[in-house]
Amino acid sequence: SIKEDIEQILNQQILMEFESSSKYLAMASWCDRNGFEFSAGFFYKQSDEERQHGLKIFHYLCDQGVVAVTPAIGAVQIEFDTLRSVFEAALEQEISVTNAINRIIATCRRENDYITEEFLRWYVKEQMEEEFIARRCLDLFNLIPADDTLRLDKELARVTFTG
Ligand code: OFO
């Protein structure tokens, strides 16, 4: 069975993934009520995906015969100044998840837990993709005038593959 410190950090990661899910849901809601239909669709989808990321670790812990803690999620940011700041917050969130996954893998290596390291490989790839998409979205804000918001929203849909 897995060691206690690994169990603990994986439970923290479950919480982080569910927090991501909540944050993206709030971003979807903001985009929705501000008329950014495509961006809203993207963040709804991201929110679903983050919940799945959390559940995947949840099941892993259950399969290992240890307690998977049901995450208690606090309040998240629901107001944003601009569409750009929403996407900036999304990239920031993905970077902190990448860092968290890297820290867990470092701990796995220290503890010789190569099974959990193998399990986490999927997350490393996923983070690479998510950071890539978030950065491509932010690039668009430099290419398209800020007042052309509807075009921005549509182009964002192409970059995020949700349009
Ligand atoms: Fe992109 O946060 Fe989950 O893994």
Predicted pLDDT of residue 163: 57
CA–CA distance, 25 with 38 (Å, rounded to integer) = 14
Predicted pLDDT of residue 149: 86
Question: Has 94 been labeled as part of a binding site?
Answer: yes
Q: Which residues line ligand 1 (CB under 6 A)?
A: 17, 20, 50, 53, 94, 97, 123, 126-127, 130
Predicted pLDDT of residue 136: 94
CA–CA distance, 46 with 24 (Å, rounded to integer) = 6
Ligand 1 closest atom vs CA 17: 3
Here the tokens at position 49 are 């995906």
Predicted pLDDT of residue 109: 98
Predicted pLDDT of residue 161: 76
70 contact partners, CB below 8 Å, separation of at least 6: none
DSSP H helix total and E strand total for the chain: 5, 0
How many CA atoms lie less than 13 Å away from 9 in the CB half-sphere?
20
What residue ranges of the chain have pLDDT lower than 50? none
- For the whole prediction, is pTM greater than 0.80? yes
